[in-house]
Structure 1
Amino acid sequence: MRFNNYRLQLLLRLAVLAGTIYLLSRIGLNPDYRGTFIGLLAFALLQVYLFIQYHERTNKQFLRFLNSIRYDDFTELFHVTGEGKVQKELALRLNEVMNKFREVRAEKEAHLHYFEVIVQHIGIGIITYKADGTILMLNNAAKKLLQIGHAQNIKELARVSPVLALGLQEMEHGEKQLVQVRQVGEQANLSVHVIELALLGDTVKLASIQNIQRELEEKEMEAWQNLIKVLTHEIMNSVTPIASLSSSAGEEINSFIDTPAEEITLLKEELEDIGQCLQTISRRSDGLIRFVNDFRNLTTISVPHMTLFNVGELLQETKLLLREQFAAQHASLKIDIPSGPLLLSADRSMISQVLINLVKNALEATQEETDRRVTLRAYLDDRSRISIEVSDKGQGMTEEAMAKIFIPFFTTKKSGSGIGLSLSRQIMRLHKGTVLVQSELGKGTTFTLRF
């Protein structure tokens, strides 16, 4: 028989046990009641055992509860029926605590997933790794910057940049480092910042990686533009009066030379020499002024006027414009375009200017080659970005030349101002694009416009 009150059941069990003990004491060790004595003794022992089991049910519940917490198993439920109000209240409270644990764990898992999504979609490369180099996390931005699919240890980054792999292992908390990386013709300057974190008693390093190449290029170009503005201003201020005065003095001397006066005739030869000198000064001053005006183009690029046009048509137009020049030099210009339209939103005249400059450079690069062929190619890259390549089979360039090729005034040609590629880069930057160079000595050069 079961009762709905824990205390009543406890009292009844004690009463039955007490009665059994009383009977045992009354019977004693009388040989006539030996069987009864043994039966009562066994019954008493059974009552003690059942009493202990009944009393320890609460301890077992607590033990199940603690084991659930220990092993993170919050699916346990506590059911108590027919045990009375106190036991029912205990089971209810234990179930409430288990539900609270489940809610807290679900909330933590949701927050963890939330932050993982943020870290994976943030534009800054994030790498977390242990002291032995084991990578704990490598987000999508870091994979994109380093152009790797997966890595388990920092040492594996050596194939991208040995300097980067070594730096990540040796950098201390709060240190920053600038690492140069060149991948598929593109120069990148990576800013690496490392901090140390304590995670469950273990030291973990967190490295943030940013490509600041574009910012460096903009600052570099801004510095060059400021320098050019100062130089051209000073040069023009100095040369313009000299050109004007030399021209005026030359005209004055020529007018004197044409005078039939006898005293002028005696100095005619000397005046002619002076006149020629002044004319030379004037011509060179005018040439220097034109030279300075050309460099001013680096600081006076207008805002692009965006229109939608077919890239294939632009490439055909470029070939038509340069047809006679290529024919005169016994060279060929090959066009490689997709069968369908490749539409680009850009300033057509600016992009045409860039293409003409690159194609002419490629033509000059093949002057000493027997196979004077330049290729113009338009396509969509693996990220669906419109790209235009200008390739030649010339002598190519060294790594040092490729690093300086876009610096104003730098040129690898015997005759050239060194502003064409700088202008091209500025125009591409105004279009939110890039111009890349990939070259190898003896095999040729490829310039890529990527929008």
Structure 2
Amino acid sequence: MLHSTAGWKNMDFKRFSLLIATRTILAMLTLIFLTQAIMSDGYHATVLLLSAVLLIQFFEITRFISKTNAELVRFFEAVRHADFSQRFELKSLGTGFDELGSTFTDILKRIQRVRSNQEAELRHIKAIIEHVPVPLLSIDHNGKITLWNNSVRRLFGTNAVTHIDDMAQFNEDFPKKLQSILAGERTLVHITIDDMEHKLIISATEITTATQQETLLSMQDIQSELALAQLQAWQDLVSVLTHEIMNSITPVASLAKTAVDLVQDVQEKTRTLPAITNEITEELDDVLGAVKTVARRSDGLMQFVTSYRRLTRLPSPNKKTISVATIFDHVTTLAKQNWQKDNIELTASITPQALDIHVDPDMIEQILLNLLLNAEHALITTAGVIEKKNSTPKIALNAFLNVRGHVIIEVADNGKGIENKNMTQIFVPFFTTKKEGSGVGLALTRQVMLAHNGKVAVRNNSQGGATFSLTF
């Protein structure tokens, strides 16, 4: 094909040269005849005619060459501007470059096909990047940030992120950590976006092109994975502990009850014997009291362990759509029965009023009731503090949609809040600040929220008290 094309081009060029030579020779002959006519007397009309013919011939030679030059210019302009609609039919112009025009057209078609293939491949790559579930962004040497896919845009939401300094709104140390990551390294970063916490594993890769060098960062949110792994670890621990404790305490409880029955039987039999002294009677009473104490504590420990088994036997949620107002009505009716005597004021707010939620109503009502009772306990134990502030004990139950479209339910009180050292421990099984608490309630709340693909968080209020928030 290449040899054939080269042959056509050679033939076209020879034909073009022949046509130019012919026109040039004719012009020269005309010029000779014109010269002879000028030098002879009486040929004025012939001079004028030959002059006109000579001008026409020069014009024709110029036009003949210009037609090919114009087509060449048009070809190169089409290539430069990627105008693939151009066609080159030089045969109709009579320039002799018939095959050259076809070659020009073929070249443009081939460039168009290559361009189309490249664009299709680029669109394919962009589509893949857009649908990668891991957020991807790049930072150039000037700190400019480019968000590459839907995942990273969903992560940052409506927050403006165009420069690395914009990252400070999520964590004041976030920009420094991003700049300090070296290629091939991974680091864990905690950030807060739209009041929602995220734990990100960030990996860095250096990309160098002909014009610039930039750092490509992949950000994998492992918040839910960490929570589930931690929950599974606690469930495994609780399962082992409850199993071992139950195996040990069950026979103790059984023997303690048997001992109580035996001591009581001995007491009944010895009452009719006159030889039994008061000292023996008192000793039997002491033994009975001790054995009853063992039996009572054994029963309490068994009930305590049984309550923890709920953490390992939580059923799957039976979800349905229900209005938040209905859930609020149910839990407040149960929770505030004794609130009037404690002078506790309850307020409820739902925005929008017709807000619905897709959850297991029984589970959510249970954890909300537990949070309300915890708030009541916090207010009762801090009543003196509230009196000093000349404030009424208050509990607020609020529901709304955040900027991400998630349903948020908050339970807030105006007590003295939670000590900072306890913030990270209150959701851990066995941990409690109550004298008679089991440490099950908040751990169960966290487990229920994870089962709903949500999360629970707590913060202290600036005006006093604490707020527990459930994010669905």
Q: Which runs of 5+ in 1 are unaligned?
A: none
Q: Distance in 2 between matches of 1:183 and 1:339?
A: 23
SS in 2 for 1:233: helix
TM-score when scaled to structure 2?
0.79
> CA contact under 8 A between 2:410 and 2:467: conserved in structure 1?
yes
Equivalent residue for 2:378? Answer: 365
**2:295 maps to what in 1?**
282
Superposition CA RMSD, Å: 3.8
Query: CA 1:395–1:266 in structure 2 vs 1: closer, same or farther (change >3 Å)?
Result: closer
Structure 1, residues 296-339: CA drift from partner, whole Å, max 9, x if none? 11111122223443321221122222232212321122222357
Range that drifts further, 190-199 or 346-355: 190-199
2:141 corresponds to? 131
- Secondary structure of 1:206's counterpart equals strand
Question: What is the aligned counterpart of 2:438 among 411, 417, 420?
Answer: 417
Structure 2 SS opposite 1:208: strand
Within-5 A mapping of 1:260-409: 260=271, 261=273, 262=275, 266-337=279-350, 341-367=354-380, 368=382, 369=386, 370-397=391-418, 400-409=421-430
**Between the two proteins, what is the percent identity of the paired residues?**
32
Deviations 1:278-303 (A, max 9, x none): 22222212211111111111111122
Structure 2, unmatched stretches of 5+, are 1-14
Name 2:447's counterpart in structure 1.
426
Contact 1:6 1:84 (C-alpha < 8 Å) held by counterparts? no
TM-score normalised over the length of structure 1: 0.83
User: 1:141/1:438 Cα in 2 relative to 1: closer, same or farther (>3 Å)?
Assistant: farther
> Alignment partner of 2:97: what SS?
helix
Structure 2 CA distance, aligned partners of 1:253 and 1:398?
49
Provide the C-alpha distance between the structure 1 equivalents of 2:179 and 2:155, rounded to a whole number of angstroms. Answer: 19
Structure 1 match to 2:253? 243
Q: Is 2:459 the partner of 1:443?
A: no
| Structure 1 pair 84–339 and aligned structure 2 pair: CA distance change class (3 A) | closer
Whole-Å separation in 1 of the counterparts to 2:352 and 2:73: 74
Superposed, which structure 2 residues align to 1:158-197 within 5 Å?
Answer: 158-197=168-207
Equivalent residues in 2 for 1:59-70 (5 A)?
61-62=71-72, 65-66=75-76, 68-70=78-80
Structure 2 residue aligned with 1:96 = 106
SS at match of 1:396: coil
What's the secondary structure of 2:411's corresponding residue?
Answer: strand
> Per-residue CA shift, 1:26-76, capped at 9, x if unaligned?
98xx999xxx9xxx99x9999899868855865665565445545656565
Which range moves more in the overlay, 388-397 or 141-150?
141-150
Q: CA deviation at 1:231?
A: 0.7
- Cα deviation for residue 109 of structure 1 reads 3.9
d(CA) in 2 for partners of 1:169 and 1:339?
42
Cα separation, partners in 2 of 1:394 and 1:115, compared to 1, 3 Å: farther
Structure 1, 327-336 or 95-104: larger mean CA deviation: 95-104
Shift of 1:257: 3.4
Look up the SS of the partner of 1:403 in the other structure. coil
Does the CA contact (< 8 Å) of 1:184 and 1:438 recur in 2?
Answer: no
